[in-house]
Structure 1
Amino acid sequence: MRVLLLASLRARTGNGTTAQRIQEHLEAAGHVCFLKDTFSCDSSLVVSKLISSENFDAALAIHLYKAGRLLQGSRIPFGVIFGGTDINEDAKCEEKVQVMEKVLNEARFAVSFTEAMREKAISNWPHTRNKIYVQAQGIVTAPNISFNWKKCLQSAGIPHDCNSLCFFLLICGLRRVKDPLYLADAFSEWHREDPSVQLIIIGPAVDPVFAEEVKEKVQRADGVHLLKEIPQEDLHAAVKKCFAVVNSSISEGMSAALLEAMDLKVPVLARNIPGNAAIITHKETGLLYSSPEEFVQLSKSLISDPCLQRKIVTRAKEYVTKHHSWEHERNAYQNFVLSLH
Structure 2
Amino acid sequence: MHILFFAPYFNQPRGNSTTIKRIVHYLQQQSISTSVIPYLEDDNWNYPDADLFHILHATRFIQWAEEKSFRLNRPYVVTMGGTDINLDLQESIDEEMLTFLNNANYITVFTEDAKEKVEKLSAKWMDKTVVIPQGIWLPWSISTRKEEFSPRILLPAGLRPVKDVLHILPALDRLIYEYPNMSFTILGANLDNDVYREVQKEAGQRKWMNYAGVVPYEVMKIWYDQSQIVINTSQSEGQSLALMEAMAIGRPVIARANEANRDLIRHEQTGWLYETMDRFAEGVHSIVENVSLREKVVHQAKEWVTEHYSAEKEADSYLNLYKHL
Q: Same fold (TM over 0.5)?
A: yes
Q: 1:322 to 1:82 in 2, by over 3 A?
A: same
Is the contact between residue 184 and residue 221 of structure 1 (CA under 8 Å) also seen in structure 2? no
Is the contact between residue 192 and residue 222 of structure 1 (CA under 8 Å) also seen in structure 2? no
1:27 is aligned to 2:24: no
Q: Spell out the pairing of 1:272-283 with structure 2 (5 A cutoff).
A: 272-283=257-268
Q: 1:75 & 1:107 partners in 2: Cα distance?
A: 11
Q: 1:309 to 1:126 in 2, by over 3 A?
A: same
Q: 1:224 & 1:192 partners in 2: Cα distance?
A: 14
Q: 1:104 & 1:266 partners in 2: Cα distance?
A: 38
- Code of the aligned partner of 1:176: P
Q: 1:116 aligns with which of 113, 119, 125?
A: 113
Q: 2:60 aligns with which of 63, 66, 69?
A: 66
Deviations 1:234-291 (A, max 9, x none): 4234324322100001121111110011001111000110111111111111111112
Percent identical:
30
Is the contact between residue 18 and residue 217 of structure 2 (CA under 8 Å) also seen in structure 1? no
Q: 2:283 aligns with which of 295, 298, 320?
A: 298
Q: 1:97 to 1:13 in 2, by over 3 A?
A: farther
Q: 1:23 to 1:140 in 2, by over 3 A?
A: closer
Q: 1:272 to 1:99 in 2, by over 3 A?
A: farther
Deviations 1:101-132 (A, max 9, x none): 32221111011111111111112110011101
Q: 2:27 & 2:107 partners in 1: Cα distance?
A: 17
Per the alignment, residue 86 of structure 2 pairs with: 88
Q: 1:65 to 1:186 in 2, by over 3 A?
A: same
In the TM superposition, residue 97 of structure 1 has moved relative to its aligned partner by 5.7
Q: 1:136 to 1:207 in 2, by over 3 A?
A: same
1:125 is aligned to 2:122: yes
Per the alignment, residue 107 of structure 1 pairs with: 104
Is the contact between residue 184 and residue 224 of structure 1 (CA under 8 Å) also seen in structure 2? no
Q: 2:141 & 2:306 partners in 1: Cα distance?
A: 21
Q: 1:234 to 1:69 in 2, by over 3 A?
A: closer
Deviations 1:140-159 (A, max 9, x none): 3233679xxxxxxxxxxxxx
Q: 1:314 to 1:213 in 2, by over 3 A?
A: same
Q: Spell out the pairing of 1:38-53 with structure 2 (5 A cutoff).
A: 38-40=39-41
Tell me the TM-score normalised to structure 1 length: 0.84
SS at match of 2:58: coil
Per the alignment, residue 257 of structure 1 pairs with: 242
Q: 2:167 & 2:243 partners in 1: Cα distance?
A: 17
Q: 2:30 & 2:192 partners in 1: Cα distance?
A: 36
Tell me the TM-score normalised to structure 2 length: 0.88
Q: 1:288 aligns with which of 253, 261, 273?
A: 273
In the TM superposition, residue 34 of structure 1 has moved relative to its aligned partner by 2.2
Deviations 1:1-46 (A, max 9, x none): 33221122173222221111122233333333222223257xxxx9
CA RMSD, 1 decimal: 2.6
User: Which stretch of structure 1 is more off in the superposition, 326-335 or 75-84?
Assistant: 326-335
- Code of the aligned partner of 2:55: A
Per the alignment, residue 298 of structure 2 pairs with: 313
Per the alignment, residue 136 of structure 1 pairs with: 133
Q: 1:79 & 1:320 partners in 2: Cα distance?
A: 25
Q: 1:231 to 1:38 in 2, by over 3 A?
A: closer
Is the contact between residue 62 and residue 68 of structure 1 (CA under 8 Å) also seen in structure 2? no
User: Which stretch of structure 1 is more off in the superposition, 135-144 or 168-177?
Assistant: 135-144
* Structure 2: stretches of 5+ with no match in the other structure: none
SS at match of 1:66: helix
Is the contact between residue 4 and residue 56 of structure 1 (CA under 8 Å) also seen in structure 2? yes
Q: How many residues align?
A: 317
Q: 2:271 & 2:200 partners in 1: Cα distance?
A: 28
Q: 1:34 & 1:233 partners in 2: Cα distance?
A: 20
Q: 2:322 & 2:248 partners in 1: Cα distance?
A: 28
SS at match of 1:218: helix
Q: 1:63 to 1:164 in 2, by over 3 A?
A: closer
Q: 1:233 to 1:58 in 2, by over 3 A?
A: closer
1:333 is aligned to 2:301: no
Deviations 1:49-105 (A, max 9, x none): x75xx32332111112212565685111110011111111112212x3654332221
